Amino acid sequence: MSAPGRAVLALSGGVGGAKLALGLAQECAAGQLHVVANTGDDFRHLGLYISPDIDTLLYTLSGRANQSLGWGLAAETWHTMEALQELGGDTWFRLGDRDLATHLWRSQQLAMGRELGEVTADLARRLGVQTRVFPMSDDPIATTVHTPEGLLPFQHYFVRYQCQPVVTGFSFAGIESARPNAELMAVLGGGAYAAIVVCPSNPFVSVDPILQVPGLWQALRDQPAPVILVSPIVAGRALKGPAAKMMTELGHGASALEVARFYHQRYPGLVDYFVIDSSDATLAPAIGELDMDVAITCTVMHSAADKRALARFCLALGEG
Among 111, 113, 282, 302, binds a second copy (CB under 8 A): 111
Q: Single out the segment in contact with a second copy by CB under 8 A; choices: 107-115, 170-178, 190-198, 236-244.
A: 107-115
The per-type count for the chain, helices as H runs and strands as E runs, is 13, 14
Distances (CA, A) of 231 to 144, 164, 265, 277, 301: 23, 23, 16, 8, 12
Q: Single out the segment in contact with a second copy by CB under 8 A; choices: 122-130, 173-181, 185-193, 304-312.
A: 122-130
Q: Single out the segment in contact with a second copy by CB under 8 A; choices: 119-127, 158-166, 238-246, 281-289.
A: 119-127
Cα–Cα dist 288/138, whole Å: 36
3-state secondary structure of 5: coil
Q: What is the DSSP string of 264-310?
A: HHHSTT--SEEEEEGGGGGGHHHHHTTSSEEEEE-----SHHHHHHH
Nearer CB in complex with a second copy: 128/253: 128
Residues between 194 and 233 with contacts to a second copy, criterion CB under 8 A: none
Cα–Cα dist 123/116, whole Å: 10
Give the up-direction half-sphere exposure of residue 249: CA atoms within 13 A in the CB hemisphere: 18
Contact 139, 183 (CB under 8 A): no
Binding of a second copy by 124 (CB under 8 A): no
Nearer CB in complex with a second copy: 6/98: 98
C-beta of 84: minimal distance to a second copy in Å? 4
Stretch 39-78: interaction string toward a second copy, x if CB under 8 A: -------xxx------------------------x--xx-
- Total binding residues for a second copy by CB under 8 A? 32
C-beta of 8: minimal distance to a second copy in Å? 27
257 by Cβ neighbours in 10 Å (0-12 / 13-18 / 19+) ranks as buried
Nearer CB in complex with a second copy: 62/202: 62
Looking at 28-115, list the stretches that DSSP marks H as alpha helix, in order from N- to C-terminal side: 52-61, 79-86, 97-111
Nearer CB in complex with a second copy: 87/186: 87
Q: Single out the segment in contact with a second copy by CB under 8 A; choices: 121-129, 174-182, 199-207, 274-282.
A: 121-129
Nearer CB in complex with a second copy: 99/280: 99
Binding of a second copy by 126 (CB under 8 A): yes
Residues between 76 and 105 with contacts to a second copy, criterion CB under 8 A: 76-77, 79-84, 86-90, 96-102, 104-105
Contact 34, 134 (CB under 8 A): yes
Instruction: Specify the DSSP class assigned to residue 44.
Output: E
C-beta of 79: minimal distance to a second copy in Å? 4
Cα–Cα dist 2/182, whole Å: 26
Contact 34, 22 (CB under 8 A): no
C-beta of 139: minimal distance to a second copy in Å? 21
Q: Single out the segment in contact with a second copy by CB under 8 A; choices: 123-131, 165-173, 211-219, 251-259.
A: 123-131
Q: Which amino acid is residue 220, in one-letter code?
A: L
Task: Name the site residues for a second copy (rule: CB under 8 A).
Answer: 46-48, 73, 76-77, 79-84, 86-90, 96-102, 104-105, 107-108, 111, 123, 126-127
